[in-house]
Amino acid sequence: MFKIIIRRMGFAFLTLIFVSGIVFISVEALPGNVCTAYLQRFAQGPRLEKCIEQQGLDRSSAVRFRDWLAGAVQGDLGVSLKRQKPIRELVGERLRNTVLLAGTSAAVGVPFAIVLGFWAGLRRDKRADLAISGIAMLAMTIPEFVTASLLIFIFAIWLNWLPAVTIVPPSASVLDILPNIILPAIVLSLVMTAHIMRMTRTAVIDILTSDFVEMARLKGVPERRIIWRHVAPSALIPTVNVIALTVAWLLSGVVVIEQVFNYPGMGTLMLQAIYDRDLPLVQAIALIFSFIYVGVNLLADISAALLDPRLRTSRRVY
Amino acid sequence: MTDAVATDSAPARRRRPRVRINSTLRRVASRPSGAIGLILTIFFVLLALFAPLVAPYDPAAFDPDLVHLPPSAMHLMGTDSLGRDVLSRVAFGGRLALVVTFCAAIIALLWGGTAGIFFGVVGGRIDEFAMRIVDGFLAIPWLLFLLLMASITGGGAWIVIPILGFFYGIAIIRVARAAALQIGARDFVTAAKLRGEPRWSIIRTEVFPNVADIIFVEGAMRWSWMLIAFASLSFLGFGATPPTVDWGLMIANERAFMAVAPWSVLWPCLALSTLIIGINLLADALGKAVGVDRAGDMPA
């Protein structure tokens, strides 16, 4: 058990190095450097020299990569070109806001999805299942910004219940932000619910038709007990993995959704950084997102191992 | 592609793949969801092809006197914030997205399929190493990767093609490899190996025909996800650029006027969603028709 956790952690660490390598190399592959990309036709004379000095571009790539990673681990993400501020300061409150939004969506979506998945799986091919599965399919295929636009139209413009866009500054208190979270969180949790629910449903159906459930039925175990003791724990295991995958989706979805609602989070900051050609800021945000993703994945791996006795052997090579 | 496999054999064998494609299509259409998907996909492809015939007006022609007109006999879907005819724009709006994502899907299929089969057949250290890299790439949230690339290249529809093709090909590698690995363990491949056939010929004649279905279905599914990705990029300003008519771009530009002219947003929303749903249903039905189970998939 302990060995598995160590192995997974090692793997997560390697993934992190790899992902940050991609983030770093993709910018290195540019003709020129971050300063010429940012300054464009003003990239000459003292301005360029000052920028190169500030970003430390006189060091070799390998040294910069090492320093960049080491800095990131210690919370030093470099300096933004456009805003001329440490990226750490720019990110601070926005990271909190994004985590608040994504966390709320997950806290609402995950339990809801599991319940719905069980409900649909236990009533396979009946009317409730078809309705739930149909809606889930729609939620999964329609792009998030379309769903968001439709919900804004219904709830903000037509019914006038909720604000359409966020007008609070990034540093607003949590209580001020909360009303603005409702609509974006609904969109995010809708799509997330659809994915997790589908997986839970499949898992429930798989297990309901498995031999050990058949055996329990033949022994005369009451159906309620079969569902709670036999089906539920086994069906949760694949669900945990999907939850981790969903976080990857959530991190993409959150960028689009923040833009739609003008929400002051990491996504809007990243887009702004791209519009400004502020590559150090783009890199830093991409790195933070990857850190979050790898971290959540590691957590899911470990909880799956804790939930599933079969995974507790160290023989399984990842 | 199937033809290339059969060219060196007797004419009788050459006919077989075509018959199979026909019966696959029939099996797709026999499912209600498959039939709907097929109809929707064909409808939008035809709409894109014949957009100039469908559109009553020039999609780019603007008129300050016609701003935000509600749907009427003159403008069936109303007009947008610059007085452009929404119906004409909806008719043209799918063209770029369909071309870009279709090209990207072909690229993804070709490189992902080839690499996947190769790693599946070769196996060993090379395969192990390649799969770790694939895992690494899949650990990057898709939009982040696309945005990172867009920020470096400056974005634009044509640059997006290779980026989408490359990134979505990586996911296909995994599927193709798993399929090739499964086929590689079968007796007829072992027999071919024992006959001393060269590896390349085994891939071409034994493995490829048996995994083509799976890879193709995967490609169809990726196509619908690429449409989501491209529309999202256009919406964020890194895909289609203004003079081009594009649904994602239309939604982004007209969103601010949703309170006064909802039709200019809702129609492209409807068109984009129906197309994606159509392709998705089609890919799903294709998968079921050739026996590939796709439950619990993620658009990554």
Report yes or no: B159 at the A interface, CB cutoff 8 Å: no
- Tell me the pLDDT tens digit for each residue of A133-151: 888 888 888 888 888 888 8
Chain B interface mutation, best of A274, A283, A293, A297, highest count of B Cβ atoms under 10 Å? A274
Cβ-Cβ contacts under 8 Å, A145 against chain B: 231-232, 235, 248, 251-252
CA B10 to chain A, closest CA, distance in angstroms equals 44
Cβ distance B147 to A271 less than 8 Å, yes or no, reads yes
- For the purposes of burial, counting CB atoms within 10 Å of the CB of B79, is it exposed (0-12), middle (13-18) or buried (19 or more)? buried
Contacts of B252 (CB under 8 A, 6+ apart): A145, B234, B235, B236, B237
- pLDDT value, residue A313: 57
B9 lies in a domain?
no
B207 lies in a domain?
yes
Above 90 in pLDDT, residue B108? Answer: yes
Phi-psi region of B9 (alpha: psi -120 to 50; beta: other; left: phi over 0): beta
Measuring CA to CA, how many Å separate B172 from each of A111, B39, B60, B106, B277? 31, 26, 38, 11, 21
More confident residue, B150 or B40: B40
Give residue B294's Cα distance to chain centre: 16
Above 90 in pLDDT, residue B104? Answer: yes
**Six-digit token string for A80:** 């933004």
Give the chain B residue whose CA is nearest to the CA of A203.
B296
Above 90 in pLDDT, residue B105? Answer: yes
Above 90 in pLDDT, residue A272? Answer: no
- pLDDT value, residue B296: 42
Average pLDDT, chain B: 81
CB count within 10 Å of CB A292 equals: 20
CA A141 to chain B, closest CA, distance in angstroms equals 6
Among A77-86, A111-120, B7-16, whose mean pLDDT is lowest?
B7-16
Cβ-Cβ contacts under 8 Å, A152 against chain B: 258
Q: Helix H segments across chain A?
A: 2-28, 34-39, 45-55, 61-73, 87-122, 127-141, 144-151, 174-208, 211-219, 223-225, 232-261, 266-275, 279-307
Cβ distance B143 to A277 less than 8 Å, yes or no, reads no
Q: Which of residues 129-158 of B touch A (CB under 8 A)?
A: 132-133, 135-137, 139-144, 147-152
Chain B interface mutation, best of A15, A25, A145, A247, highest count of B Cβ atoms under 10 Å? A145
More confident residue, B152 or B164: B164
Of A81-90, A198-207, A243-252, where does the model show the most confidence?
A: A198-207
Cβ distance A22 to B137 less than 8 Å, yes or no, reads yes
- Please report where in the chains the tokens 């002051």 appear, as a residue: A264
Whichever domain contains B31, its CATH number is 1.10.3720.10
- Tell me the pLDDT tens digit for each residue of B119-141: 888 888 888 888 888 888 877 77
B166 lies in a domain?
yes
Its pTM stands at: 0.84
The proportion of chain A whose per-residue pLDDT surpasses 70, expressed as a percent, equals 92
Q: Which of B224, B258, B272 sits opposite A153 (nearest CB)?
A: B258
- pLDDT value, residue A311: 61
Chain B interface mutation, best of A16, A144, A149, A187, highest count of B Cβ atoms under 10 Å? A149
| Residues of the domain holding B42 | 24-49+85-289
Residue from A264, A101, A237, A261 nearest A168 by CA: A264
For chain A, the first-to-last Cα distance in angstroms comes to 13
Mean pLDDT of A171-178: 73
Q: How many domains does chain B have?
A: 1
- pLDDT value, residue A128: 80
- Tell me the pLDDT tens digit for each residue of B172-182: 998 888 888 88
B198 lies in a domain?
yes
What string of H, E and C letters represents the secondary structure of B78-118?
Answer: CECCCCCEHHHHHHHHCHHHHHHHHHHHHHHHHHHHHHHHH
**Six-digit token string for A105:** 């969506």
Among A41-55, A265-279, B254-268, whose mean pLDDT is lowest?
A41-55
B300 lies in a domain?
no
